[in-house]
Chains A and B, each alone.
Chain A
């Protein structure tokens, strides 16, 4: 049997370069050549059980029911506060695999980033390096970011640097519906860009009009963060 575990090299014929664009929504469907390269040949995968001391900490986000699980392991050089190794595993779609592969390269290339700099990597930085992702797949690249944040927090806890731990706690915005800033972030990631669209998804601010200015501010903030 021929070896089918490694994909054949991708030809760059016109057919493969062609993108399918929805004329109404301008939504793109095809993946860029860089995305394909990282999908078919992901970098920094953890394929074997880690050995004792190989990594300093681990962060896991998502659940198989939601369709995404991301698991990230990191090794830190404490003298320089640098991430010298990052390995990952995922149960996720093509974009999640490609985005995490690219994220792992960005964190560890050139001897590794300092923790504080690695934490500054935004989803759109990953997308820029990937040559773009279809808009509705952006939330896939956020997973790497979130799992990494968790791994770093676990590292801070393990090394007694408790003051450096940053937790994104959910804050209730609409007290009637008990909707938090996390829900609004989620809605923006799913494609809502203005109050009307967010309200279609969440009914936020309907029973609590006083929360609307803050909701609008959050929509702007998250739109800027993920699509800006």
Chain B
């Protein structure tokens, strides 16, 4: 298991590796034998100290912060469902990271939503093909068994230490009209209970009904 420093408000460029006893690893860098002979080279002491302190702080606030974020996320999702029709959560509704909300807005394309939200100072990410360098939709959403249509309209909102109820309310004010606007210009009208194989009709893709990103 690895833990990344910058994901827990620690320094960037430092992380930790948890190795179970008995596991043999091939050194990443050979030489002076530092870091249990796995990664030779002079250790980056300031980063290590900073990371250790970040871990301490994270541990100290873990329980209260998890509770706060879980409650905030649940409020967020409840309100999104109340204010925007045709939205679906991706992943388990409760068995998920406290700060993570990933959902799909049907009939709109993720990148267009993203650009609007950015204009209002809201930073989030999407599984839309248009934001990946390869122009392929999120393989994670697809691997969860969701149809392509869901991947293109998926949004990931993550909450953090500095996220407040006011921030969530700001998104809740901005997002519904943006979705309404983009839906009004969209020729696509999917329904939530539509079957997956009806949706990604084979005729949607040339040749054998296989999308270009899955052809080898």
Which A residues have a C-beta under 8 Å from some C-beta of B? 1-5, 7-8, 10, 27, 31, 39-40, 42, 45, 47, 60, 63-69, 71, 89-97, 136-137, 139-140, 170, 178, 182-183, 186, 190, 202-203
Contact = CB atoms under 8 A, between A and B. Distances in A.
Given A47-B184, A136-B133, A63 B204 contact: yes
B187 A89 contact: yes
Contacts of B184: 47
Nearest to B107: A91
B185 A93 contact: no
B192 interface: no
Contacts of A95: 130
B154 to A, nearest CB: 11
B130 A91 contact: no
B114 to A, nearest CB: 8
B180 A64 contact: no
16 contacts: A1-B173, A5-B181, A7-B116, A10-B119, A64-B199, A65-B147, A65-B149, A67-B109, A69-B186, A69-B187, A69-B188, A91-B108, A91-B186, A91-B187, A94-B112, A95-B130
A183 B109 CA distance: 24
Given A92-B112, A93-B130, A67 B212 contact: no
Contact of A93 (B119, B120, B128, B133): B128
A66 B130 contact: no
Contacts of B120: 4, 8
B130 A137 contact: yes
B190 interface: yes
Contacts of A47: 184-185
Contacts of B190: 64
B112 A93 contact: yes
B115 A39 contact: yes
B42 to A, nearest CB: 27
A3 B173 CA distance: 10
A44 to B, nearest CB: 11
Among all A-B residue pairs, the 10 with the closest Cβ atoms:
A93-B130, A63-B204, A93-B111, A65-B148, A71-B187, A91-B188, A67-B152, A65-B200, A89-B187, A65-B204
Nearest to A7: B119
A4 B179 CA distance: 11
Given A63-B201, A63-B204, A65-B200, 9 more contacts: A4-B120, A4-B178, A64-B152, A65-B147, A66-B204, A67-B152, A90-B186, A91-B107, A91-B188
Interface of B: 107-112, 115-116, 119-120, 128-131, 133, 135, 137, 147-149, 152, 173-174, 177-178, 180-181, 184-188, 190, 199-201, 203-207, 211-212, 215-216
Given A90-B187, A94-B115, A95-B130, A66 B173 contact: no
B187 A5 contact: no
A60 B108 CA distance: 17
A69 B201 CA distance: 14
Contacts of B174: 4
Nearest to B176: A4
Contacts of A89: 185-187
Contacts of B108: 91
Contacts of A8: 119-120
B115 A67 contact: no
Contacts of A63: 201, 203-205
B187 A60 contact: yes
Contacts of B173: 1-2, 4
B137 to A, nearest CB: 6
Given A7-B119, A64-B149, A45 B185 contact: yes
A80 B76 CA distance: 56
Contacts of B177: 3-5
Q: Which one of A4, A67, A71, A97 has the greatest number of beta carbons of chain B within 10 Å?
A: A67
